[in-house]
Amino acid sequence: MEPRVIFEDSEVLVLDKPAGMIVNRSDTTVGEKTVQEWVEGYLKVSKVSEVPKVSKGVRSPFDTFDTFPTFDTFLQRAGIIHRLDKGTSGILLVAKTKEAFENLQKQFKERKVKKTYQALVHGEVKIPEGEINVPVGRLPWNRKKFGVMAEGREAVTKYRVLNLYNVILRVSEGSHEILRHSPQNDRGAHDINNEQLTLLEMYPETGRTHQIRVHLKYFGHPIFADPLYGGRKTARNDRKLLSRIFLHAGKISFYHPKDGELVSFESHLPEQLSQFLTTLNS
């Protein structure tokens, strides 16, 4: 399991992250391969602890820096500009120079970077386009989860409906099964559920942790197979049909840090997700 390089030049590296891969290295990722470690190996960059202080005029693994603290901050992240949750797949942006790193961080802060996600959610989203604008913060009683909180930080997510699926499920203790047609005179018909799922395109204006997942839960349409915000029973049943959360970072656009030209990149739905949609359509 490794990222795929979508684009690379002297300033930026655009990656397609697979689901199940953690972005940043931490004390809790011991034994797991992270995107950060992959980037360090790909760009042949040493870990921060192994890099001596850089004085003016001395060549660093990336570039020449005037002061070590800026270089240190840049290197601590291996140039990775933003994050994706472990279970989320899609586009990840990496800077290859300190200048590009600072430029892109500023673009994120000023909301010049535009990201597009696809999410499959429970229920029918009846309003075809809209905006969710409620603050998001870390839950004080569960530090691993976030929620809509009055004292949270501003969080804005726009959305557009792409498709609606009417799904017939046969539910049993050990499995879920998608049916093409509702069975007639079936003794197990009481185990048949009709459910609607909506495919959304999401446009986060801000970048809070778990923002899209929290907003969709608050909206009453949790993401399919979301183990953290989908509800324990619902997520468990979803995972019998799809082993990962249906959330994919499909597009990104930003101004190239070197020449200021607007550039865009795209990552198509992974095969597992596209095949699942095909199953819903059959």
Which are the catalytic amino acids? 85
The encoded tokens of residue 237 equal: 């049943």
Alpha-carbon dihedral 138, 270, 90, 122, rounded to 10 degrees? -30
Alpha-carbon dihedral 116, 120, 121, 127, rounded to 10 degrees? 60
SS3 11: coil
Neighbours of 256 (CB within 10 A): 15
Kind plus residue range of the DSSP H or E element containing 109: helix 98-109
| Percent helix, strand and coil across the chain, each to the nearest 5 | 25, 35, 45
Nearest CA to 19 out of 191, 246, 189 is that of 246
C-alpha to C-alpha distance for 153 and 31, rounded to whole angstroms: 33
Contact at 8 Å (CB) between 81 and 14?
no
